[in-house]
């Protein structure tokens, strides 16, 4: 499907400005894009509702293929950010949810419908919200997350996983704070489906999750040696699986917890090595949130190396 340009269904001068901005954006003409935003900032700000929502003619395209429509959405997001830097914050605030009370009320309405058992009406309302075409990936991720939740309630794991995967991808690309939770939900759903199928993979995933949770609890009780003992056994098991095995998705968290425990035990060399491994695992999997956390942990560990050489056991460790 050929992705239309922003402004394709907007008439007059505003439509021409939007189409020119869309072309500049997709061509990578950053200087031209910024110049046009400056030139037409007042007009774009005043008529922001015309380009912050997908036109009625394109809503079915959004429902059918959000990925193909992504360039359309991205141009709107970039215009909003440019206007914000030019002293016109309203469009970016609208994308960020400050002016989204009506949509939040609709989201709550879908929960009420699900509680009443009217899944069809809830699903229809959520799809209408998608069709309204917010250009904010983070907000769209929230809608897909709610669709995943509703599908789980009605015991349709295949649909739930499809929606959760879209929510995860959108949250990751936008850097939305829901990224970590979206990742956990997707992992939980994939595990539940494999367990339902009675597959070996499902049993492995569940066992690994339980082992990692046990090690985390030991660490929370300051039993760092015992936690590391359990983690090293699990690491040897996971490291033996093929690179594409879903079970290896736990490696980033596992290595990060090993690094945290070593940090608390005063072994900075081991803390640094395991945290760097956690960071590399997150990079390999495209886990932007985990990458930020472990990069910060590594910075803190290395910062301690420049302090006195006696590790103070009561110093708080890196973030989990």
Question: The pTM is what?
Answer: 0.47
- Per-residue pLDDT, 131: 66
How far is the C-alpha of 88 from the C-alpha of 125, rounded, in Å? 32
Nearest to 134 by CA among 48, 43, 24, 30: 48
Which residues 6+ apart lie within 8 Å of 277 measured at CB? 255, 259
How far is the C-alpha of 296 from the C-alpha of 307, rounded, in Å? 17
How far is the C-alpha of 145 from the C-alpha of 163, rounded, in Å? 7
Instruction: Walk along the chain (320 residues) and give the pLDDT tens digit of each residue.
Output: 577 888 888 888 999 999 999 999 988 888 899 999 999 999 998 888 888 877 767 766 666 666 677 788 788 888 988 898 888 888 887 776 544 555 666 777 887 787 778 888 888 888 877 766 555 677 788 888 888 888 888 888 888 998 888 888 877 776 665 666 677 777 778 777 877 777 777 778 788 888 999 999 999 999 999 999 999 999 998 888 877 777 788 888 999 999 999 999 999 999 999 999 999 988 887 676 678 888 988 888 877 655 544 333 322 333 33
Token pair 């912050």 is found at: 52
At residue 51, the 3 state secondary structure works out as coil
């Amino acid at each position: 499907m050929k992705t239309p340009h922003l402004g394709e269904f907007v008439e007059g001068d505003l439509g021409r400005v939007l189409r020119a901005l869309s072309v500049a954006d997709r061509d990578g003409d950053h200087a031209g894009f910024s110049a046009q935003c400056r030139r037409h900032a007042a007009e774009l700000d005043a008529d922001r509702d015309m380009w912050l929502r997908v036109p009625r003619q394109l809503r079915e395209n959004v429902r059918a293929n959000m990925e193909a429509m992504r360039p359309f959405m991205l141009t709107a997001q970039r215009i909003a950010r440019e206007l914000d830097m030019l002293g016109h914050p309203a469009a970016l605030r609208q994308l960020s949810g400050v002016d989204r009370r009506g949509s939040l009320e609709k989201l709550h309405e879908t929960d009420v419908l699900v509680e009443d058992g009217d899944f069809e009406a809830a699903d229809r309302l959520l799809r209408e919200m998608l069709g309204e075409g917010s250009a904010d990936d983070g907000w769209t991720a929230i809608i897909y997350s709610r669709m995943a939740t509703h599908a789980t309630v009605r015991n349709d794991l295949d649909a739930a996983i499809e929606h959760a995967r879209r929510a995860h991808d959108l949250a990751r690309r936008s850097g939305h704070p829901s990224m970590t939770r979206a990742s956990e939900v997707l992992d939980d759903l994939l595990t539940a489906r494999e367990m339902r199928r009675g597959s070996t993979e499902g049993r492995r995933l569940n066992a690994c999750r339980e082992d990692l949770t046990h090690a985390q609890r030991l660490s929370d009780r300051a039993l760092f040696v015992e936690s590391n003992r359990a983690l090293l056994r699990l690491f040897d098991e996971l490291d033996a699986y093929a690179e594409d095995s879903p079970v290896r998705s736990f490696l980033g968290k596992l290595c990060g917890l090993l690094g945290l425990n070593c940090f608390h035990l005063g072994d900075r060399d081991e803390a640094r090595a395991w945290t760097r491994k956690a960071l590399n695992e997150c990079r390999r999997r495209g886990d932007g949130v985990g990458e930020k956390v472990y990069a910060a942990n590594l910075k803190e560990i290395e910062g301690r190396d420049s302090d006195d050489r006696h590790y103070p056991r009561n110093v708080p460790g890196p973030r989990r």
